[in-house]
A and B are shown apart, each in its own frame.
Chain A
């Protein structure tokens, strides 16, 4: 059997990759994909802790996170389509009209 620490390190690694994607990429779509990677990293940690404790709650939280991720993707992609229609660009630097 694999130790819990391995799963947690893998989860942290995935979260770091997703976070660096959010900071480094200049494309709103790739930003959303990086957010999905981060959500999945957290899911993995939840399931690993649930397995460690022999409880079903970790899996249920993961289930809720997946539904919220689906809603987030739907609204986020609708926003991306709207933004692209206005600016003909997906670079987040192009969407600064609300910036003070």
Chain B
């Protein structure tokens, strides 16, 4: 059991540090690589939560397909690093009004989250101790193709629409 806690904290640290580097890094290529590392940490967390299918999909779809798409765009556009001096001059959050309202909203959200967390039952007990985990792919597929059939079909329409949209948007206009 101690090793599970160790694994959790290792994966959680990898995820959070990766995410922080994504936001703090000015070079988009490094941001992207750090995001892939963060997704690997999340994959480990899914394994700990006994969701092996999601762990695999996380790597194949997220770290594989989506991140390669991002990487292609970063490389094709030859994205420049963000200029720190320009950032300091032009960032809208440095307007005093935006700063105050934003700080107030962030504080409100933090308080609300803390309140919600303090009222959620079963936060300190080990996760799902009295319920067995549903981790079989057969069960997942059965629910996906019975209860969630409609949502599944709508998703396929959404993906076709997104595909056509992406092709139309990124096509070169020759008129």
Contact = CB atoms under 8 A, between A and B. Distances in A.
Given A13-B16, A37-B38, A4 B127 contact: yes
Contacts, number: 214
B96 interface: no
Given A13-B16, A56-B143, A68-B155, A78 B165 contact: yes
B19 A18 contact: yes
B8 to A, nearest CB: 5
Given A5-B124, A77-B73, A59 B54 contact: yes
Given A54-B134, A78-B170, A12 B79 contact: no
A10 B15 contact: yes
> What DSSP secondary structure best describes chain A's contact surface?
helix
Contacts of A2: 4-5, 8, 48, 126-127
Interface in A34-84: 34, 36-37, 40, 43-44, 47-48, 50-57, 59-60, 62-64, 66-75, 77-82, 84
> What DSSP secondary structure best describes chain B's contact surface?
helix
Given A24-B23, A33-B31, A93-B90, A73 B70 contact: yes
Contacts of B115: none
B19 A70 contact: no
Contact of B54 (A7, A33, A63): A63
A34 B24 CA distance: 11
B44 to A, nearest CB: 11
A26 B166 contact: no
Contacts of B159: 67, 70-71
A100 to B, nearest CB: 16
| Residue among A59, A69, A79 with max Cβ neighbours from chain B (10 Å) | A59
A52 B140 CA distance: 16
A98 interface: no
Given A3-B124, A24-B93, A70-B65, A30 B22 contact: yes
B12 to A, nearest CB: 5
B61 to A, nearest CB: 5
Contact of A51 (B4, B32, B133): B133
A48 B15 contact: no
B128 A70 contact: no
B49 A1 contact: no
A70 B19 CA distance: 19
Given A51-B49, A67-B159, 8 more contacts: A1-B127, A4-B123, A26-B82, A33-B70, A47-B49, A50-B134, A70-B66, A73-B69
